[in-house]
């Protein structure tokens, strides 16, 4: 199908698309918290039924943890085989009091859909499914398409990782499409050339068996809140670089060509500050914005907690304190090795007098790098040019989709990381949203690209 | 009255005392959280009625914030004038899930009353009131007694502080009794010879206007959780001493006689660890346990928070992070000066790229030192000897009752800081309790001492 045909169908069916999309968004498929397990399962089943309804053969693939929704459409022999990866799980919705409408009661306001997962990843999945539906309904899909939608992307992809080896033939494909990335600006189509890897852990320091009076015990006992702060402070040097011994050892120097393309897709400090509300003054002091953003490792505290943080004062020495830590890895860093380096650093910097516990340690996955010269990238770029009548830009993404490195390896496919997210979508934050305009661009991209592989 | 008489009355009336005490404990008089203001007012009114019922003239003294419960009993002219200070407010009860019975539904288990405030301060107030009731009912009270029970001790004593100047004559007294301290061991009566001063503040660092994805923004923006940790880490030197410039300048060297008495009331590391569950390895490395516990300043983190601390991972860079900080001050440190030094230190160590807010800053009050040679101390020691047939010990308390320094000055009285608390009472923590045995000792002490001042 061509752009005009797809556009017409979108306009005719938009209302129905939005209603179905809302249904998908209403599942509280929060994978990181076991309390929501049934919600995740319900979501997977709904999705599998939906993929059957649009004309694919769909079923759930069991894993040791959460099922993967699988759907297949068989094209003519000799036509390309496309695999598509995404996730039906979402991040937790807290802090709930900062949401204008409820995170799992999707609301359309001013051309944007507000809900947890509105963009990441349910919104970007749903335009793809609607494009597939359109092509099948119009007898225009003739490549083989295999969809894998997992339920644990936000918490380490354990289930799908455990089964990749078993699914060898099912995964083998020419192109691996992933719509879970963004554009550098709305309306500027963006091809993601890299993803950072990720590792995670939680560190806990425990002191007295219960909170103590800070007057009676102040200056006597080691304070877990003070000590978690001192431990966290040991993670970075004064110049903002990571102080974990050996962490940078295998990080490769940046290719000059990559650096050039990365700078095209970059923006200045003032634009960044206007966008997020604070200047880009984090990370390594001597490294440029574009490089810190896309190429260099970063170690971040995702949460720190200990003692009383409510209104007024409560003069205690807390019994325990925790920090949730994750690091983004650069190309060529081995995630297992990096995790061990971090654990070793924590152990050798842990304070005497408190007990140390490291938990939730996860080797998320390695970084991904795509060649700008691949056939798949060229075809996608040509499709993107049709949609907005300008050249796409190439971006090195700082975020991670931990499973992608493994999927690329298992599928033997050329990865195609193209999505239509944008900063103001607030993914992972309160008031996540996705605009109808972005949704439609994604629909056109998926429809045109699959048409192109079908012809 | 003598010990035998008081003992008999206690045993005859114990059940009623416990029921009344439970009623007092059931008020959620949490002063630090404005949500409980009405509960605090209800508690004050109940208490004032109760003091009328036992034979005193009672009323509420208005302050700019919470009322002070005042009650007076007039003794014969020429007899000593005793003032008594305490507080009807309590600490917050969280974490609620760690309480075995509900904090405001008092429960008697194995000879201990469990409730928030069971010891601090409602339990220690209530044995005093029951002793007064007993003496009045038996025509045995003949000194003048003036009771001042405030409602903001746990959050800075703003109300009573604002009115002390106005109450000059009402406050003037020979002895100021305070039952808000503890014993070094159950059964060993303890006279508190000193209290540390206290200052408090909250520091907040704010970065992006909402939580950001830690992949997209990791290494780009300053992370408020990382930076609050680095700021907190700047509060202490490697040797455990406080790194705030000038903080120790006015701290006096310890008197050798005080050091000797303090060591008598001290205990060894193993006993301490068995008591609280962690070794006494905090504070200044080169300073002895007894001195760190009673004489030296201490700077403690009462709470630290930022980002996600629930189950599983949430890979964000938090929008903001806070630390609640308090410091205990040694004799001769000026609280206003110490607070300013801390604020200056925070300002000069605050990270660029984030906005700094210091709030809840409070000059709690200075330290108190009592002379072991005072007449009041000698009389109290003799009463304590009658109760348990051994010499009391003298303790330098690390905790603060910020208002005491001001009360001592305004009343011109000799302070008498004697209470019957004990470590396992868990004050300020879940499962706070006070044993009937401790309660009875307090009753005997108050009854005998007031009898002695009446004869």
pLDDT per position as a tens digit, B259-318: 887 777 777 899 999 999 999 999 999 999 989 988 899 999 999 999 999 988 889 999
Across the interface, whether the CB atoms of A233 and B228 are under 8 A apart is answered: no
Q: Is pLDDT at A409 greater than 90 in this prediction?
A: no
Across the interface, whether the CB atoms of A293 and B317 are under 8 A apart is answered: no
Q: How far apart are CA B271 and CA B273, in angstroms?
A: 5
Question: What confidence tens digit (pLDDT) does each residue in A162-192 have?
Answer: 999 999 899 999 999 999 999 988 889 999 9
Across the interface, whether the CB atoms of B399 and A215 are under 8 A apart is answered: yes
Share of chain A above pLDDT 90, in %: 84
Q: How far apart are CA A30 and CA A38, in angstroms?
A: 10
pLDDT band at residue A294 under the 50/70/90 scheme: confident
The sign of the torsion formed by the CA atoms of B52, B56, B57, B61 equals: negative
Tell me whether strands B175-178 and B81-87 are parallel, antiparallel or unpaired: parallel
Question: Measured between beta carbons, which residues in chain B are less than 8 angstroms from residue A279?
Answer: 221-222, 353
Strands, E assignment, B342-435:
355-365, 368-369, 393-396, 414-418, 433-435
pLDDT band at residue A233 under the 50/70/90 scheme: very high
Who among A196, A324, A328 is closest to B309 (CB)? A324
Across the interface, whether the CB atoms of B399 and A216 are under 8 A apart is answered: yes
Residue pointed to by tokens 């060591």:
B263
Calculate the alpha carbon distances from B339 to A255, B162, B310, B326, B401 in Å: 52, 20, 34, 9, 17
Regions in chain B scoring below 50 on pLDDT: none
Predicted pLDDT at B257: 79
Alpha helix positions (H), B234-361: 256-264, 269-276, 289-294, 335-349
Predicted pLDDT at B251: 95
Q: How far apart are CA A160 and CA A62, in angstroms?
A: 9
Across the interface, whether the CB atoms of B306 and A301 are under 8 A apart is answered: yes
How many A×B Cβ pairs under 8 Å?
371
> Measured between CA atoms, how close is A233 to chain B, in angstroms?
5
Predicted pLDDT at A432: 97
Question: What confidence tens digit (pLDDT) does each residue in B349-400 have?
Answer: 999 999 999 999 999 889 988 877 789 999 999 999 999 989 899 888 898 8
| Residue B2, token pair as written in the block | 């003598």
Predicted pLDDT at B400: 86
The sign of the torsion formed by the CA atoms of A368, A370, A376, A381 equals: positive
Any A CB within 8 A of B273 CB: no
Across the interface, whether the CB atoms of B229 and A232 are under 8 A apart is answered: yes
Question: What confidence tens digit (pLDDT) does each residue in A17-71 have?
Answer: 999 999 999 999 999 999 999 999 999 999 999 999 999 999 999 999 999 999 9
Predicted pLDDT at A322: 98
Q: How far apart are CA A176 and CA A190, in angstroms?
A: 17
Any A CB within 8 A of B214 CB: yes
Predicted pLDDT at B15: 97
For the ranges A268-272, A434-438, B265-269, the one whose mean pLDDT is highest = A434-438
Alpha helix positions (H), B244-333: 256-264, 269-276, 289-294
pLDDT band at residue A256 under the 50/70/90 scheme: confident
- The contacts of residue A140 (CB under 8 Å, 6+ apart) are A1, A134, A451, A454
Question: Measured between beta carbons, which residues in chain B are less than 8 angstroms from residue A92?
Answer: 308, 310, 312, 314
Restricting to A residues 133-192, those with a Cβ less than 8 Å away from any Cβ of B are 154-156, 182
Question: Measured between beta carbons, which residues in chain B are less than 8 angstroms from residue A354?
Answer: 278
Across the interface, whether the CB atoms of A305 and B302 are under 8 A apart is answered: no
Question: What confidence tens digit (pLDDT) does each residue in A79-101 have?
Answer: 999 999 999 999 999 889 999 99
Predicted pLDDT at A186: 83
Q: How far apart are CA A14 and CA A148, in angstroms?
A: 25
Question: Measured between beta carbons, which residues in chain B are less than 8 angstroms from residue A33?
Answer: 310-312
Question: Measured between beta carbons, which residues in chain A are less than 8 angstroms from residue B225?
Answer: 232, 301-304, 323
Calculate the alpha carbon distances from A326 to A75, A124, A140, A263 in Å: 42, 25, 44, 26
Q: Are A385 and B199 in contact (CB under 8 A)?
A: no
Predicted pLDDT at A452: 97
Predicted pLDDT at B178: 96
ipTM value for the complex: 0.78
Across the interface, whether the CB atoms of A210 and B426 are under 8 A apart is answered: yes
- Which of B132, B146, B184 is CA-nearest to residue B9? B132
Mean pLDDT score across all residues of chain A:
95
Residue B165, burial from CB neighbour count under 10 angstroms (0-12, 13-18, 19+):
exposed
**Residues A358-392, buried b or exposed e (16+ Cβ, 10 A)?**
eebebbbbbbbbbeeeeebbebbbebbeebeeeeb
> Measured between CA atoms, how close is A376 to chain B, in angstroms?
25
Gyration radius of chain A over CA positions: 23
Predicted pLDDT at B256: 84
Across the interface, whether the CB atoms of B230 and A229 are under 8 A apart is answered: yes
B25: helix, strand or coil: helix
Predicted pLDDT at A137: 97
Chain B interface, mutation test: which of A216, A272, A286, most B Cβ atoms within 10 Å? A216
Q: What is the DSSP letter of A139?
A: T
> Which whole number is the average pLDDT over A414-435?
94
Across the interface, whether the CB atoms of A155 and B221 are under 8 A apart is answered: no
Any A CB within 8 A of B301 CB: yes
Any A CB within 8 A of B330 CB: no
- Which of A402, A217, A143, A427 is CA-nearest to residue B216? A427
Across the interface, whether the CB atoms of A282 and B318 are under 8 A apart is answered: no
Predicted pLDDT at A285: 95
Chain B: residue nearest A307 by CA?
A: B303
- Which of B243, B292, B402 is CA-nearest to residue B336? B402
> Which whole number is the average pLDDT over A120-147?
98
Any B CB within 8 A of A301 CB: yes
- Which of B347, B416, B429 is CA-nearest to residue B375? B416
Chain B interface, mutation test: which of A29, A219, A225, A327, most B Cβ atoms within 10 Å? A219
């Amino acid at each position: 199908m061509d752009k005009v045909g797809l556009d017409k169908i979108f306009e005719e069916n938009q209302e129905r698309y939005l209603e179905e999309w809302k249904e998908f968004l209403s599942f509280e498929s929060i994978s990181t918290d076991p309390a929501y397990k049934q919600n995740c399962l319900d979501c997977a089943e709904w999705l599998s039924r939906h993929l059957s309804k649009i004309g694919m053969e769909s079923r759930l693939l069991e894993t040791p943890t959460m099922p993967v929704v699988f759907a297949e459409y068989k094209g003519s022999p000799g036509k390309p085989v496309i695999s598509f990866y995404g996730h039906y799980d979402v991040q937790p919705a807290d802090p709930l009091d900062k949401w204008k409408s409820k995170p799992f009661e999707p609301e359309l306001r001013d051309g944007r859909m507000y809900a947890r997962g509105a963009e990441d990843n349910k919104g970007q999945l749903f335009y793809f499914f609607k494009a597939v539906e359109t092509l099948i309904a119009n007898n225009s899909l003739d490549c083989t398409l295999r969809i894998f939608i997992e339920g644990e992307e936000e918490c380490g992809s354990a289930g799908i990782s455990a089964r990749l080896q078993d699914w060898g033939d099912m995964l083998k494909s020419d192109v691996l499409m992933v719509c879970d990335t963004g554009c550098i600006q709305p309306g500027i189509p963006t091809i993601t050339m890299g993803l950072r890897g990720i590792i995670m852990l939680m560190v806990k320091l425990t002191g007295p068996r219960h909170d103590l009076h800070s007057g009676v015990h102040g200056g006597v006992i080691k304070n877990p809140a003070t000590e978690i702060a001192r431990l966290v402070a040991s993670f970075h040097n004064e110049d903002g670089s990571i102080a974990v011994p050996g962490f940078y050892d295998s990080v490769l120097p940046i290719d000059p060509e990559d650096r050039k393309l990365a700078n095209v897709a970059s923006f200045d400090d003032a634009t960044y500050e206007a966008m997020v509300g604070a200047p880009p003054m984090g990370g390594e002091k001597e490294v440029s914005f574009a490089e810190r953003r896309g190429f260099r490792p970063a170690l971040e505290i995702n949460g720190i907690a200990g003692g009383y943080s409510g209104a007024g004062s409560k003069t205690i020495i807390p019994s325990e304190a925790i920090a949730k830590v994750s690091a983004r890895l650069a190309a060529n860093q081995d995630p297992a090795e990096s995790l061990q380096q971090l654990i070793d650093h924590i152990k050798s910097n842990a304070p005497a007098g408190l007990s140390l516990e490291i938990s939730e340690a996860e080797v998320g996955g390695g970084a991904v790098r795509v060649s700008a010269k691949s056939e798949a990238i060229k075809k996608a770029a040509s499709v993107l040019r049709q949609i907005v009548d300008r050249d796409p830009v190439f971006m090195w993404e700082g975020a991670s989709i931990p499973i992608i490195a493994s999927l690329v390896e298992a599928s033997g496919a050329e990865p195609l990381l193209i999505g239509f997210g944008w900063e103001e979508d607030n993914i992972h934050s309160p008031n996540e949203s996705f605009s109808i305009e972005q949704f439609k661009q994604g629909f056109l991209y998926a429809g045109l690209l699959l048409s192109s592989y079908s012809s």
